[in-house]
Amino acid sequence: MNSMENTTLLFNDEMEKIIDAMDLSQEAPVEEPQRQYWFMKKARQLIKEQSEKLGRPLTANITTFGCQMNARDSEKLVGILERIGYVEVPDENADFVIYNTCTVRENANLRVYGRLGYLHSLKKKNPHMMIGLCGCMMQEPQVVEKLKKSYSFVNLIFGTHNIYKFAELVVSSLLSDRMIIDIWKDTDKIVEDLPVERKYPFKSGVNIMFGCNNFCSYCIVPYVRGRERSRNPKDIVREIERLVKDGVVEVMLLGQNVNSYGKNLDEPMTFAQLLTEIEKIEGLKRIRFMTSHPKDLSDELIEVMKNSKKICKHLHLPLQSGSSDILQKMNRRYDKEKYLNLVEKIRTAIPDISLTTDIIVGFPGETEEDFLETVDVVKKVRYDSAFTFIYSKRTGTPAAVMENQVSEDVVKDRFNRLLETVQTIGREMSARDTGKVMEVLVEEQNSQDKHLMTGRLSNNLLVHFEGDTSLIGQLCQVRLDECRGFYYMGTKVG
Ligand code: 5AD
Ligand code: SF4
């Protein structure tokens, strides 16, 4: 295996050869990713035996909750599942059902518990069905306790730090009747070269970093995703080059706080420098990224975005609150004035950029005046769209024990008022390109009207226009005829 040590990101057929060459009569190797290749071969054998007994292929289904980071993790899980012989099916009537969970807000957890009840009824009809739970919610000890006590029919529980071990965990589950639990508190490990099955052939998420060091006082992410670690820039560029060779034209660089990329590398590098390297990749047409923390957004990044031909004209810049008092309690490390100055700087450099944001309403201690500060920022910045959230108390975070938690009625009233403002402005902002001809990346056929294709503008808005499926994955020029709220109807030109 020595020849592999310095190569990263293998093509599928190369990986296949290595898996095939694994010797199951020997112990599993200790080194990663070789160890996982060994377990992939082992899993394949076990799954083949089961499927021969049943006289049909084994099926699997993954449901993903939460953010794009989880979506990318699920693509990795599907990549391994397909490689070991499962056939992916669209619903939970499957031999192996996996929920990749989110825990950023309480109702995400409640949804998972609700759906587990339904899975239990399916499992009663299909006794060899396996149920696996992974993702952020599993990193919370009280969740695992509850699952052990009240949901003993679950077969496999693992967390966010060890999904690379999925093949190994599947083998353990297939060989055991007990609930397999493998949760790590944190890791500094990044394992490259594992299979991934992309949802779209023409676009892909690319992890550039994992974890978060910011500890915003309301947020559970640093506790469940661990400390910040950046991937080596060479691995990132190599992955994107491979993706481009495989038909990808757009990448979404993923990290909880991409603006602090590279700080912990042996040879530190900034996010702006990474973008400059990625820009050079021939054949790559569009670059997106998320999420940007306002405190770390540099002048260098604004300059690179301004001069780039590939970076999309869209920035997601979470505000969370417009009140400097609340921002301080949130541990965001910027205030209202700094945020507005930053927006001003970005808009001066890149006037046609779309800005979107996240806002939390009802953080502990939020007064009507604080709330009005948030509305004021929304009116000043004029976001294209905003995700608005009702504050959700996450046990274990500093905000959960803060005084003056805001009552439900007050929060709901503020939330509705904010939504109204955000939507009115969003509609006006979205319509500003009506009549222009702009480039879209064609993504899919419209599910309601087969004559229509759906494409995405650089600024992330969707456009529906007449066309056929041969356009999927291509960049087309489309005239934006009419804006309907948050999307356009258009006509393909040329
Ligand atoms: N309550 C409500 N919203 C939250 N978010 C993170 N934690 C919480 C919480 N406890 C929101 C933030 C973040 C987005 C991904 O989720 O706005 O930017
Ligand atoms: Fe959570 Fe703040 Fe980190 Fe974002 S930056 S993941 S809100 S702690």
User: Does the C-beta of 260 come closer than 6 Å to ligand 2?
Assistant: no
Question: Which residue's CA is the closest to the ligand 2 atom numbered 2?
Answer: 216
Are 410 and 457 contacting, i.e. CB atoms less than 8 angstroms apart? no
- From the CB of 214, is ligand 1 less than 6 Å away? no
CA of 357 to the centre of ligand 2 (A): 13
Which stretches of 130-165 are DSSP H helices? 141-150
Which residue owns the Cα nearest ligand 1 atom 7? 219
Query: What share of the chain in percent tops pLDDT 70?
Result: 98
- pLDDT confidence of 471, banded at 50, 70, 90? very high
Q: Which tokens in the block code for residue 13?
A: 């057929």
Question: Residue 23 has which token pair?
Answer: 């010797």
- Tell me the pLDDT tens digit for each residue of 306-357: 999 999 999 999 999 999 999 999 999 999 999 999 999 999 999 999 999 9
Q: Taking the CB of residue 443, how many other CB atoms lie within 10 A of it?
A: 18
Answer whether 358 contacts ligand 1 (Cβ < 6 A): yes
Q: Return the DSSP state at 223.
A: H
Residue 277 confidence class, pLDDT cut points 50, 70, 90: very high
Query: Quick check: CB of 104 below 6 Å from ligand 1?
Result: yes
Beta strands in 373-461 (DSSP E): 385-390, 437-445, 452-457
Distances (CA, A) of 34 to 10, 104, 134: 12, 34, 23
C-beta separation of 220 from 255 below 8 A? no
pLDDT at 366 over 70: yes
Nearest CA to ligand 1 atom 13: 358
Q: What is the DSSP string of 335-365?
A: -HHHHHHHHHHHHHH-TT-EEEEEEEE--TT
Q: Separation of 222 CA from ligand 2 center, angstroms?
A: 7
CA 235 to chain CA centroid, Å, is 19
Average pLDDT over residues 35-43: 97
Q: Rounded to the nearest 10 degrees, how much is the dihedral formed by the CA atoms of 22, 246, 462, 415?
A: 30
**If you take atom 4 of ligand 2, which residue's CA is the nearest one?**
256
Q: How far is CA 11 from the centre of its chain?
A: 23
Reported pTM: 0.92
What is the reported pLDDT for 194? 85
Q: How far apart are CA 424 and CA 408, in angstroms?
A: 24
Give CA–CA dist 197/87, Å, rounded. Answer: 12
| Nearest C-alpha neighbor of 158 from the set 126, 185, 122, 182 | 182
For residue 451, what is the DSSP state? Answer: T
Residue 254 CA to ligand 2 centre (angstroms) = 13
Q: What is the DSSP letter of 311?
A: B
Dist CA 22 CA 214 (whole Å): 42
- What pLDDT score was predicted for residue 195? 86
Least confident of 9-18, 57-66, 274-283, 447-456: 9-18
Mean pLDDT of 291-312: 97
Sheet arrangement for strand 250-254 = 203-207, 250-254, 286-290
**Helix, strand, or coil here: 482?**
strand
Distance, in Å, from the CA atom of 284 to the CA atom of 241, rounded to the nearest integer, reads 8
Mean pLDDT within 126-151: 95
Nearest-angstrom CA–CA distance, 216 and 298: 20
What pLDDT score was predicted for residue 230? 96
Residue recorded with tokens 């919370």:
140
Coil, helix or strand for 286? strand
> Cα Rg for the chain, rounded, in angstroms?
24
Average pLDDT over residues 468-481: 97
Average pLDDT over residues 394-407: 94
Question: For residue 14, what pLDDT is reported?
Answer: 84
In angstroms, rounded to a whole number, what is the distance separating the alpha carbons of residues 234 and 240? 10
Are 321 and 330 in contact by the 8 Å Cβ rule? The answer is yes
pLDDT at 10: 60
Q: Which atom of ligand 2 is nearest to the CA of 225?
A: 6
Q: Which residues contact 21 (CB under 8 A, 6 or more apart)?
A: none
In the predicted model, is pLDDT for residue 207 greater than 70?
yes
Give the whole-angstrom CA distance, residue 454 versus residue 473.
11
| Burial (CB count within 10 angstroms: exposed 0-12, middle 13-18, buried 19+), residue 309 | exposed
The pair phi, psi for residue 278, each rounded to 5°, is -70, -35
- Residue 361 CA to ligand 1 center (angstroms) comes to 10
Q: At what angle do helices 336-349 and 368-381 cross, to 10 degrees?
A: 10
In the reported structure, the alpha carbon of residue 319 is separated from the centroid of ligand 1 by a whole-number distance in angstroms of: 11
